[in-house]
Amino acid sequence: MILRAAICVAFVPLASLAQDEPPDWSAAETYADAAAEADPLIAIPLVEGEGTDGAWACASCHGENGQGAGPIPALAGLPAGYIVKQLHDYAAGARLNDNMQYVANRLDATQMAALGAYYAAQIRQPTAGATLGGDLARGRTLALEGDWTVDVPSCFSCHGPSGWGVEQAFPPIAGQHAAYIDRQLSAWKSGDRANSPLGLMHSVAKGLSASDIKSVSDYLAELPPPQPRDRVSLTREPQDE
Amino acid sequence: MSDRHRTTVSRAILIVLAVAALVVVGGGLYRNNTLARIAGTAETESAGEAATRAGREARATFDDEVANLGAEENAPHAPAVPIGAEGYFQPPDPSSIPDDEFGQSVRRGREIFLNPAANATEYVGNSLACANCHLDAGRLANAAPMWAAAGEYPAWRGKNKMINTMEDRVNGCFTYSMNAQASPSGAAPPKGHQIYKDLESYFYWLATGAPLNVELPGRGYPTPDMPEAGYDRERGREVFAARCSVCHGETGQGRQDINGRYVFPPLWGSDAYNWGAGMHRVNTAAGFIYANMPLGLPYSLSPQEAWDVAAWINSQERPADPRQSQGGLTVAEAQERFHSDDPGFYGAEVDGTVLGAGVSGDPADTPSATGTVVPDPAAPK
């Protein structure tokens, strides 16, 4: 099943043509189901870098509670299905980043699902802010109204009215680190990142200039971050006897 | 020795001159971004910024002309229509809404248009917003812009066989597209209601400088001719799964944010437009979809795909046509009287069921496009 999903991700256009295959975007929902069944406690040694097969501790870059910094994204409070899909995409080469591909290639599907559940349950702190010198007014226009002269709908028309995301396939963008958003939008624009549903993010980013990207990244970073919908207990239950 | 010395000195001078020339020429090339321009990678102004600037300049020119109408002998006595970067009418920027009583009405109208369930709660019976189909707050050409509609009324409409003012037309939007029969008040706003005035103010202001009684390019939806293969809901089902369900959900019921507000609108079922709405016609929906869907990917579906997926969406049950449900008619009678010219599925048998009987949900469970609406149970029905 996981292998099939990974193949779907790697051959998105083929998968969408093949009958009886779920559409590529539904991978995030499938992975969310897996994360819902996973034990988030499995993730803790991975986050801390204990007993992993050469993979680095997630916390060594993403911080202790997945808050991220600079170009390293905050993971806390992202949808579990979105996180797990990104890990599978890294492992399958559908999303490119040397560090993340190194790590993802050392995780199995169960560990990925647990990491998704773990980070989705973390509380995001408002640590991001404008760092790129972007034009916040222009960023606000792009986030709230879009720029229809270049077929760019507002960020919020898909990522929700507060930028807090919509279900599994549209992650929250409010309160994310400006340098990370800037890098991702630039990568979508150039085609270096190409794993969004229907190529929607490529079509959006290609209408934006480098200064637009800075502006909207700074604006989004200034917003209050989302909070997790479903809190799960991450404290270890005392063992019986 | 001296010859060689001179040679060395002149070589040194030549080298210094060459380096200086390189610095000057290279610096000039760098400052002017010449290489990037030649390579096509120069980043001066984005296409969006350029189009926005062109739109602003068109409006500024218009404002100047209006300010100087007839001021001098050779000055024009009527302003030219302001045209944006893509050749369509350029509506004014929201920042130029006047700071007076009229401007306040324009602003209220705009808020109703964007969030009718929150700002016209009593008269909205589903989870849609005007701006779901009239994109960019009613400004976008080929997405039924309100600057084009504003100058088209009064007009005679076959739908109700009478002269319609803009208020009559908007009453129809509430009655059908917003399914007012399921709203807290059970009907569209009564005649003369402030909601009509505010919406009309917004449309009128958007059309500042547009000609009256002219069918402006960009009006309505550019429905492509029906393909030779007609339209087919089963082909449309596949288009929907591949291209639409990521946003509208596999069963077309939209998607909500963590606060239970609709971000992507439902397309059928009890929270969608009813069987009397223009959008239930396959041709109308095909035109909207072809030119505007998915968001950000306009014209990415073929005309065939647009017609087919419109057929899939519009062959699902939705709230009843109030002319039928409130008029004491059977679906067959309503089909004969109101839908005989429709390219659509009203009264048609699909999967063993005749469509049109309608589906309604509990209004108290209806999430709004902009915030959960909790109707007052004591409100008169």
Q: What is the pLDDT of residues B54-91, one digit of tens each?
A: 999 999 999 999 988 878 777 778 899 999 988 999 99
Counted residue by residue, chain A has a size of 241
Taking the C-alpha atoms of residue B257 and residue B263, their distance in angstroms, rounded to an integer, is 6
CB contact under 8 A, A204 and B296: yes
Q: What pLDDT is stored for residue B7 in this prediction?
A: 72
Tens digit of pLDDT at every position of chain B (381 positions): 456 666 777 787 777 787 777 776 666 655 555 555 555 555 567 778 888 889 999 999 999 999 888 787 777 788 999 999 889 999 999 989 999 999 999 999 999 999 999 899 999 999 899 999 999 999 999 999 999 999 999 999 999 999 999 999 999 999 999 999 999 999 999 999 999 999 999 999 999 999 999 999 999 999 999 999 999 999 999 999 999 999 999 999 999 988 788 999 999 999 999 999 999 999 999 999 999 999 999 999 999 999 999 999 999 999 999 999 999 999 999 999 999 988 899 999 999 999 999 988 665 555 555 433 333 333 343
- CA–CA min distance A136, chain B (Å): 15
CB-CB contact of B55 with A118 (8 Å): no
Taking the C-alpha atoms of residue B285 and residue B282, their distance in angstroms, rounded to an integer, is 5
3-state secondary structure of A113: helix
CB-CB contact of B124 with B174 (8 Å): yes
Q: Which two tokens stand for residue B189?
A: 């706003």
Q: Which two tokens stand for residue B15?
A: 């080298």
Residues in B closer than 8 angstroms to A210, CB to CB, are 43
Taking the C-alpha atoms of residue B351 and residue B335, their distance in angstroms, rounded to an integer, is 19
**What kind of fold does domain B88-365 have according to CATH?**
Cytochrome Bc1 Complex; Chain D, domain 2 (1.10.760)
pLDDT tens, position by position, A124-134: 989 999 999 99
Phi and psi, residue B263, nearest 5°: -100, -45
- B235 in reach of chain A (CB within 8 A): no
Taking the C-alpha atoms of residue B94 and residue B41, their distance in angstroms, rounded to an integer, is 33
CATH code: domain A2-120 is 1.10.760.10
- CA–CA min distance A171, chain B (Å): 11
- B298 in reach of chain A (CB within 8 A): yes
- B48 in reach of chain A (CB within 8 A): yes
Q: What pLDDT is stored for residue B38 in this prediction?
A: 58
Taking the C-alpha atoms of residue A28 and residue A33, their distance in angstroms, rounded to an integer, is 9
Taking the C-alpha atoms of residue B166 and residue B155, their distance in angstroms, rounded to an integer, is 9
- CA–CA min distance A199, chain B (Å): 9
CB-CB contact of B176 with B322 (8 Å): yes
Going by C-alpha positions, the residue among A171, A202, A194, A183 that lies closest to residue A31 is: A171
Q: Do domains A2-120 and A136-222 have the same CATH topology?
A: yes
Give helix A80-92 / helix A27-37 axis angle, nearest 10°.
Answer: 110
Going by C-alpha positions, the residue among A124, A109, A111 that lies closest to residue A75 is: A124
The contacts found for B186-192 with CB under 8 angstroms, 24 or more apart, are: B186/B380, B186/B381, B187/B123, B188/B123, B189/B120, B189/B122, B189/B123, B191/B167, B192/B167
Q: Which two tokens stand for residue B39?
A: 């390579």
**Which residues are registered as beta bridge partners of B164?**
B155
Residues in B closer than 8 angstroms to A152, CB to CB, are 48, 296
3-state secondary structure of A176: coil
CB contact under 8 A, A153 and B296: yes
Taking the C-alpha atoms of residue A13 and residue A194, their distance in angstroms, rounded to an integer, is 12
Domains of chain A, by residue range, sit at 2-120, 136-222
**What kind of fold does domain A136-222 have according to CATH?**
Cytochrome Bc1 Complex; Chain D, domain 2 (1.10.760)
The residue with tokens 């596999």 is B250
Host H or E run for residue A111: helix A109-120
Taking the C-alpha atoms of residue B78 and residue B69, their distance in angstroms, rounded to an integer, is 7
CA distances to A225, B223, B297, B306 from B292, in Å: 30, 11, 7, 10
- B83 in reach of chain A (CB within 8 A): no
Query: CA end-to-end span of chain B, whole Å?
Result: 113
Q: What pLDDT is stored for residue B306 in this prediction?
A: 98
Phi and psi, residue B353, nearest 5°: -125, 140
Residues in chain A, pLDDT under 50: 1-20, 241
Residues in A closer than 8 angstroms to B43, CB to CB, are 209-211
Q: What pLDDT is stored for residue B33 in this prediction?
A: 52
Exposed/middle/buried for B11, CB within 10 Å: 0-12, 13-18, 19+?
A: exposed
